[in-house]
Structure 1
């Protein structure tokens, strides 16, 4: 389907979205409706379960035989085979073809995700877009195929329901309460509609356009063959799925025939699709219990439905996550794999965070609901002989709290955060012990082991360095957490219906007191979830780093060129946002990491506008619950930061060569003269490349840069350090060092239009270069700039330089002095200072001005990550 096919409908949707408050309306109303539907379903289940005992449900569930479990698994497998066939016909309908491996992966994995999360046409369609896209299928084609298969499934369910009404009206009348004549009439009308629908289809697809006042909709009527095959496969899918549930009800056949059961199943499934709950949960169960309650004992029905959910929805989801883990570590890393296989493996494995997020949310829900249910007394008796009571009590409470935390951590996994991966792994590992200690919950332990294995197999996919709670949780996510808590509360009252409530239950501690333990665990889980949700809703928005617009870069470049501070050219790297003054004659460049809003250097522009800019930036950071920081500010501006209420901390000193007095005379310049002579002997030569000529030598410069990074096992820096970026380098001048005509090293230098000050930018050399190469290069650069009339050349900051301990020094100052003296194993502080000292520079102190006191150390950690390229 081309993007223009639904252009009219898209225009209408865009108009609706642009209505005032439309976005806020969608974000709040949809979760509210979901919570309302959940509350209604719980009321219905409360009514249906009045005569059901929790223990009888558990007994029936435990007494399901291995044959019944295997039969249900076999029927589930047959259903998913039919799903693959449905996708194959759908692809043929849109004129696309996909090889068998991605077809099987896309159909099964997409269906498993769609079943587990609801809105299968959207979630499953997203999976198919990624998997089938490897074979050249466009998102438009996947969308058209998804609509075709979803509509056809709904038609198949309606067809099966109509056929059942017509063929078994008498039996269904007793279940539904409708007269047999009405059921036959509805069934006959439905079948007649299908006959008309099939007759309207032709041997080849037909394009149809519907034009109206507000929109123009285009779609393709499928060929009769495609429609009939898709309907047949959909019917086979539904029959196999219903057989999975039927197998778990071995005694249902004595009261209800399989044909009538399939009819009820199809109708309940259709209601679940209309309800749009995840997998039709709640709606489907209520319809099945209501229709078959008079024929099948409700306790047996509920036990079978629980087992059916675990088999038909849980097992495929776990296996799908396993498939992604296999792709993560197999085909993608196989050198002999075909290009298509490698692209497919990479595309499929990128779905791992989505599946891990869903699996983690399901596991968290399991732990919360498990805390609301009673453990088996036989297992409690075993634990009583080996564990003290406080271990049992605390294990159930902590397991429920960790379950709530997993519900929130799952969102971090969805965003591929490394912190979420670590936290999920730690929680799952801790709950292995807690699940055993609270009641020998072996099933929970097995599920947690599977989750841990999946997390370990997909570690490389969680590589985003950002705060776990930096981004607000959506109302939909918080509503999902609320639904889990509400379900746990309902299960608690259902499981302990025969226990008379008393306030003394809260304070009863004994091995056989299961109700008080469950009551305390559920209350703690609810309060913990409410606290986290309230904190998320009430805390200020954390804000998000955004790259500057092209217009802002152009305007900032004009401000930079009009002043003399050459280090302000770092603003042109494009990795920092801008905060302009009201006149837009001055600006701050800043980035964000975690809660730290870090401005680099002092404001750029007229000094009269600095105080207002500093105050605005501090207010901006505090408005988002963050910490304001000004990195590498100069001593003459410190009163401005003190007036803003910031804490000052010395970072080091910056080396400035006074160019008018720089020469090679005297004994203190002997090492520089030797470097020049040694360079001439080694065949060194210098080439000055103006900014207009830089693009022509970029390939040679990049070769040097890549070799330098590879030799140091490092990656490109940013923020306060000049980085090798084509666009950034193209706006600077470069001094290239050649040895016998071959490029060996280079240094870029930043200047402004005033040509009074220059700052060293990117400096790289090939591995194995002479130890005199950079000294030769910097000496030639200083001599060139002196002849060009520049007054100063900055060699950059030497960290912790000048941090000498004094009797009145702060703890930070004393610690920095110790790092300067003994930290050579971690960073060559003294070596960097020694190299720059060869040029006899003037050392100027540089400071950090930041919010808070103790939090300054967290700010320093965030600044380190910013220099490494992290943003949030």
Structure 2
């Protein structure tokens, strides 16, 4: 009770002291009168009690200086009572604004001798009421105490982003429906200022919508732009006549300043040079276009063509000062030229803005030391059948602090695509996942793990990630595999037919393959692929001879004359006692059953050499495509949609091929952060696997 009483007394004392500070600021405005002229415009009705003596105006600089000092004291007072930034900003803005509104309204009532309603209505339109509120709120936002826990206020960025988006939507509404320009909608829109506001309302509204998305992603640059734009909007309101729009813009800007610690995602430091270069390029193109258009239409001008004339006209059009046409240009050219320049300028500004707010550019990095460390960890800990594929050259590596574990990833369209589960000591994986999430978030990358196994789903969930079933990996147990029995008779027939035709198999390590045979195998792979790109990212090797001698096996099928007709390329997982199929190219002239025969030979070789498992093709959505599967109505719709994609992705073909060998099935998942990310994650995954024309992977 004593503590509560002391707290209440402190708050009461703070309120009383705040009133004293506000009253003192008003008093100082009456006392401080500059002897000479002060630069800048006067602020009308800043001293409403002196209106009869025509001294109600105060130089704007003097007014701002006095109330800035008062705002500093009010902010320190809020800090003393341990008020948090947002609370301090809103309460001080409300308190100072109410004080100025009441004192000004009463003063106008006394001096003008008008009805009270008219006096207070006039006070609500005075910049001298809104400026103290804004400055006091800014003092609280800057000097108030920061919120306690970092996790506190997780909704604040989204709430502020929604408010900024709403402001942008208001602007766009006013731009599309100008007949509402005098309504409440226009009053609340950030830029309904006549003249300048009419010109800027549409691009500013669009800019606010773009910035809102960046705010939701906690981007520091989006925060800077939002504060600048909304703060400038509030100032424009005050200059051209204060009303509700000034209060709306100022309050959102104050809230952004107060919650500035929430917007900590830094922009790509490497983007600054690109943005400057891009800006200079756009400027050169726009001014070049302007000069060329003016020269071609020089007869429509009222003065001779010159570089200075072209520079002035293009600049004025770019700033929107020639929106209704140029006085120096006649005819239709004088009407469309300024609009074309302004359109080009807005387009260029939008491109530059989006580039400045974009996620960090991905830079592929894989030095010799990291590659050797990754090889060692795969050899020691890579029990998962997908682990060897982490050694692709187009993946970057991310290690834990002690370099006991790593994951392989690339970035496509702002999505960090992780290939399979992390590889390394189990005790290090929790810290590795935590560090990578922080690493990706700092660069504004979304996260997706493709081909995740069930083993580590609980680990991902512990870090706030979600999972979605993706498909099944067909894994053959070499000890129990047999060609006997009715279920596998078609495979047995293929094997018998190929052997009778004189086909034989060679199983070779990479070091045993000479230059001539290597050239033949690469030619078979190129002919099989044709014009199509090399598909695969999670469960394929990007080059036939990428892996070293103990990391790969070639199962080569030779025709009766001894020439290679096709082959299977396997990655070796020593820790998992497994072979993982990477590719199976063949000549188009090979007989049916060729691949089935090679798989059986590979399984037999693996059993003889101590490998317990052989991983075949991954079958996407196998549980949905299985003919005997019992599906819900939603799953039936999904199945029909997947079958419609058969010609593009061979989904059911992979499943049917795998089922011939009676394998075991290991479920694989896509791990992601938010459901709203799934469309983007899906496109990024297809691009990473080379199923889309452009991979979107930026490399340096």
**TM-score, L = length of structure 2:** 0.51
Which residue does 2:610 correspond to in 1?
789
Equivalent runs, 1:571-586 vs 2, <5 Å: 571-586=390-405
Cα 1:698/1:755, change in 2 over 3 Å: farther
TM-superposed CA distance for 1:802, in Å, is: 0.9
- What secondary structure, in the 3-state scheme, does the structure 1 residue paired with 2:447 have? strand
Equivalent runs, 1:148-547 vs 2, <5 Å: 473-482=274-283, 526=345, 529-537=348-356, 539=357, 541-547=359-365
What whole-Å deviation, never above 9, does each CA across 1:226-283 have from its counterpart, x for those lacking one? xxxxxxxxxxxxxxxxxxxxxxxxxxxxxxxxxxxxxxxxxxxxxxxxxxxxxxxxxx
Cα 1:544/1:658, change in 2 over 3 Å: same
**TM-score, L = length of structure 1:** 0.41
Question: Number of paired residues?
Answer: 401
What whole-Å deviation, never above 9, does each CA across 1:443-481 have from its counterpart, x for those lacking one? xxxxxxxxxxxxxxxxxxxxxxxxxx9997341331454
Cα 1:701/1:523, change in 2 over 3 Å: closer
Which residue does 1:243 correspond to in 2?
none
Which residue does 1:637 correspond to in 2?
456
Which residue does 1:597 correspond to in 2?
416
Which residue does 1:188 correspond to in 2?
none
Cα 1:695/1:852, change in 2 over 3 Å: farther
- What is the alpha-carbon distance in structure 2 between the residues aligned to residue 809 and residue 548 of structure 1? 46
- Is the 2:535–2:689 contact (alpha carbons within 8 Å) kept by the matching residues of 1? yes
TM-superposed CA distance for 1:666, in Å, is: 2.4
Confirm whether residue 687 of structure 1 aligns to residue 506 of structure 2: yes
Which residue does 1:187 correspond to in 2?
none
Which one has the bigger helix percentage? 1
Match of 1:709 among 529, 537, 549: 529
Match of 2:428 among 602, 609, 618: 609
Confirm whether residue 747 of structure 1 aligns to residue 548 of structure 2: no
Cα 1:753/1:832, change in 2 over 3 Å: closer
Equivalent runs, 1:29-48 vs 2, <5 Å: none
- What is the alpha-carbon distance in structure 2 between the residues aligned to residue 847 and residue 571 of structure 1? 17
Cα 1:517/1:637, change in 2 over 3 Å: same
TM-superposed CA distance for 1:560, in Å, is: 0.4
Match of 2:378 among 560, 567, 585: 560
Cα 1:754/1:633, change in 2 over 3 Å: closer
Confirm whether residue 738 of structure 1 aligns to residue 558 of structure 2: yes
Cα 1:732/1:474, change in 2 over 3 Å: same
Cα 1:472/1:611, change in 2 over 3 Å: farther
- What secondary structure, in the 3-state scheme, does the structure 2 residue paired with 1:834 have? helix
- What secondary structure, in the 3-state scheme, does the structure 2 residue paired with 1:765 have? coil
TM-superposed CA distance for 1:688, in Å, is: 1.6
Which residue does 1:699 correspond to in 2?
519
- What secondary structure, in the 3-state scheme, does the structure 2 residue paired with 1:661 have? coil
TM-superposed CA distance for 1:648, in Å, is: 2.6
Cα 1:683/1:621, change in 2 over 3 Å: same
TM-superposed CA distance for 1:664, in Å, is: 2.4
- What is the alpha-carbon distance in structure 1 between the residues aligned to residue 570 and residue 553 of structure 2? 6
- What is the alpha-carbon distance in structure 1 between the residues aligned to residue 316 and residue 358 of structure 2? 45
- What secondary structure, in the 3-state scheme, does the structure 2 residue paired with 1:764 have? coil
Cα 1:512/1:606, change in 2 over 3 Å: same
Confirm whether residue 799 of structure 1 aligns to residue 620 of structure 2: yes
- What is the alpha-carbon distance in structure 2 between the residues aligned to residue 786 and residue 673 of structure 1? 18
- Is the 2:278–2:352 contact (alpha carbons within 8 Å) kept by the matching residues of 1? no
TM-superposed CA distance for 1:553, in Å, is: 1.0
What whole-Å deviation, never above 9, does each CA across 1:175-220 have from its counterpart, x for those lacking one? xxxxxxxxxxxxxxxxxxxxxxxxxxxxxxxxxxxxxxxxxxxxxx
Cα 1:517/1:562, change in 2 over 3 Å: same
TM-superposed CA distance for 1:830, in Å, is: 2.0
- What secondary structure, in the 3-state scheme, does the structure 2 residue paired with 1:660 have? coil
Confirm whether residue 759 of structure 1 aligns to residue 577 of structure 2: no
TM-superposed CA distance for 1:535, in Å, is: 4.1
Cα 1:683/1:514, change in 2 over 3 Å: closer
- What secondary structure, in the 3-state scheme, does the structure 1 residue paired with 2:569 have? strand
TM-superposed CA distance for 1:795, in Å, is: 0.4
Cα 1:607/1:522, change in 2 over 3 Å: same
- Is the 1:716–1:724 contact (alpha carbons within 8 Å) kept by the matching residues of 2? no
TM-superposed CA distance for 1:584, in Å, is: 0.9
Which residue does 1:549 correspond to in 2?
367
Cα 1:543/1:620, change in 2 over 3 Å: farther
TM-superposed CA distance for 1:621, in Å, is: 2.8
- Is the 1:579–1:589 contact (alpha carbons within 8 Å) kept by the matching residues of 2? yes
Cα 1:547/1:494, change in 2 over 3 Å: closer
- What is the alpha-carbon distance in structure 2 between the residues aligned to residue 790 and residue 526 of structure 1? 64
- Is the 1:756–1:791 contact (alpha carbons within 8 Å) kept by the matching residues of 2? yes
TM-superposed CA distance for 1:546, in Å, is: 1.3
What whole-Å deviation, never above 9, does each CA across 1:335-368 have from its counterpart, x for those lacking one? xxxxxxxxxxxxxxxxxxxxxxxxxxxxxxxxxx
- What secondary structure, in the 3-state scheme, does the structure 1 residue paired with 2:584 have? strand
Match of 2:446 among 604, 627, 635: 627
- What is the alpha-carbon distance in structure 2 between the residues aligned to residue 587 and residue 776 of structure 1? 37
Match of 2:465 among 642, 646, 661: 646
- What is the alpha-carbon distance in structure 2 between the residues aligned to residue 576 and residue 497 of structure 1? 47
- What secondary structure, in the 3-state scheme, does the structure 2 residue paired with 1:562 have? helix
- Is the 1:492–1:519 contact (alpha carbons within 8 Å) kept by the matching residues of 2? no
TM-superposed CA distance for 1:764, in Å, is: 1.4
Cα 1:846/1:815, change in 2 over 3 Å: farther
Which residue does 1:442 correspond to in 2?
none
Confirm whether residue 844 of structure 1 aligns to residue 663 of structure 2: no
- What secondary structure, in the 3-state scheme, does the structure 2 residue paired with 1:473 have? helix
Runs (5+) with no aligned partner, structure 1: 1-396, 402-468
- What is the alpha-carbon distance in structure 2 between the residues aligned to residue 866 and residue 798 of structure 1? 17
What whole-Å deviation, never above 9, does each CA across 1:40-86 have from its counterpart, x for those lacking one? xxxxxxxxxxxxxxxxxxxxxxxxxxxxxxxxxxxxxxxxxxxxxxx
- What secondary structure, in the 3-state scheme, does the structure 2 residue paired with 1:778 have? helix
- What is the alpha-carbon distance in structure 2 between the residues aligned to residue 526 and residue 498 of structure 1? 12
Cα 1:622/1:742, change in 2 over 3 Å: same
- What secondary structure, in the 3-state scheme, does the structure 2 residue paired with 1:668 have? coil
- Is the 2:503–2:558 contact (alpha carbons within 8 Å) kept by the matching residues of 1? yes
TM-superposed CA distance for 1:543, in Å, is: 2.0
- Is the 1:492–1:518 contact (alpha carbons within 8 Å) kept by the matching residues of 2? no
Confirm whether residue 861 of structure 1 aligns to residue 679 of structure 2: no
- Is the 2:400–2:406 contact (alpha carbons within 8 Å) kept by the matching residues of 1? yes
Match of 1:666 among 478, 485, 497: 485
- What is the alpha-carbon distance in structure 2 between the residues aligned to residue 624 and residue 786 of structure 1? 46
What whole-Å deviation, never above 9, does each CA across 1:762-796 have from its counterpart, x for those lacking one? 21111110112111110111122123232211103
Confirm whether residue 829 of structure 1 aligns to residue 629 of structure 2: no
Cα 1:867/1:844, change in 2 over 3 Å: same
